[in-house]
Each structure stands twice: as structure tokens, then as C-alpha cells.
Structure 1
């Protein structure tokens, strides 16, 4: 490359992660980042860079497929209700229907047990109600 030519600027992991988080989680993801500002802004950057900048932007699975896997994993953990709610909202953002999310959570009863499935369903119920309150024109029976 000749000295007068500039290398095209490439998107950094942080920039790619910020873009992905906004597309996937919208406001819910930004609330998590904002909540970290006073305790660990570096951790917020790690969230942008690794899960969203490196993993979510990989080829091979759609964002919709990635959210199916994430909702199932978080529900199966049974200890990640706040994160599960964020990803249920993300699932809605990337095209999952309420029925699909409900079925994902019911499926977890087989592999993670009824308590995990119940907790997941109650988390979904809260997210759906909040979504209806924020978007009354989109309310689904």
C-alpha cells in the first residue's frame, strides 16, 4: 500500500457490539448498560465487545435463532430472571412471537424442570404486560 493511502477504518468490537445491542435489545439492553455506569463502566464495554460484538454478530445463526437459544439457556439456569426478561424483550424485537417464546419456556420444563419453566413463564408474562403498556397499539390478545 502506498504511504499516501489510508487503510479503511474498520468497525471495532466495541462499535460492532453497540450496534448489535441496539438492534437486538433496544431500550432494555441500554438500561442494563446505563445501570453499570456508576459501578463498572468497563464491564459495560465487555458486554458490548464479547457477547454482542463477537458472538451475536457471527455468521451461522440469525439473531432470531440466537435469541431462542439465549431464552432457553437463561430459563434453564433458573437464576437469571433480569437477564431473561431482557432477552424475552429482545426475542420480540427480533421477530419471535409470544406463542413461540411461551413454547420455548414450556420446553424447558422437560430439561430444566417445572420450577424453571414456571419462572420463565412468569417472566414472560411480565415482559408481555410491560410491552402492552408501552405499545398499546400492538397489544395482542
Structure 2
């Protein structure tokens, strides 16, 4: 059972996060490889693989939650890439982050927007045309 969960989780991680997710797993190998296994099995094998929501909806929820936390910029960056990978448009992402100002405060929304700016730059995405 555990091996099945792990394999399913690895496949889902690759589908959602691509190389960004594998970088997180690789970074954990020298400090907490068991945590990487747990993250793959539970997070991606059990939760992300559930049929109740599509991957885009799951990433919208994840981006909103990480933004609201206000102290998870590295994880937010990974999940902003994931949101783009599963079909969120850059404009939708900006709207999600702006929505968080209402519920998590302006500092959290600003932090999220600046992380998104980094992710968009890495991908060559420009939302506002230069004057």
C-alpha cells in the first residue's frame, strides 16, 4: 500500500509541480528524507489525488492559504509555478493574491504579489506592458 501511495504521489507531484517539486524533494534528502516520503505519500498520493476537486481548484486553494499565512514565500513560489502548470492564468493568480488583502491583510497580499512577480519573471510573463 505504501509503495502504491508513494508512486501515485510521485506521479502527481511531477504532474503538478514539475521540476520545482522535485527540487524540494531533493533538498530534503540530506536533512529529512522521511519527511520527503511523507510529503509525497500523504500530500500528493492521498490528498492531491482525491477526485473531489480538479488540480486547478486545489492550487487556487493552496495559493490562497499560503498567501494568507504570510510567512511561506518559498512554498508559495513552488505553488505559483504549480498553479500556472495546471491552468491558472497569470491574471487569475493576481486576482487570487489581491483577494487575500481582504482576508489576510495588505502585507500578506503584497508579499504574495512580489513572489508572483518573481515567478512571472522566471517564466518570461509580463502582465503590464511597459510605457
TMscore range, shorter length: over 0.9
2:92 is the alignment partner of 1:100:
yes
Partner of 1:63: 55
The two structures have a TM-score, normalised by structure 1, of 0.86
Moved over 6 A (4+): none
2:120 is the alignment partner of 1:128:
yes
Partner of 1:50: 42
RMSD: 1.6
Q: Where in structure 2 are the equivalents of 1:1-141 lying within 5 Å?
A: 12-132=4-124, 139-141=125-127
Instruction: Give the aligned length.
Output: 127
SS of the equivalent of 1:75 reads helix
1 CA distance for matches of 2:39 and 2:123?
24
Runs of 5+ unmatched residues, structure 1 = 1-8, 133-138
SS of the equivalent of 1:12 reads helix
2 CA distance for matches of 1:25 and 1:97?
16
Cα contact 2:8–2:45 (8 A) shared by 1: yes
2 CA distance for matches of 1:123 and 1:105?
10
The two structures have a TM-score, normalised by structure 2, of 0.93
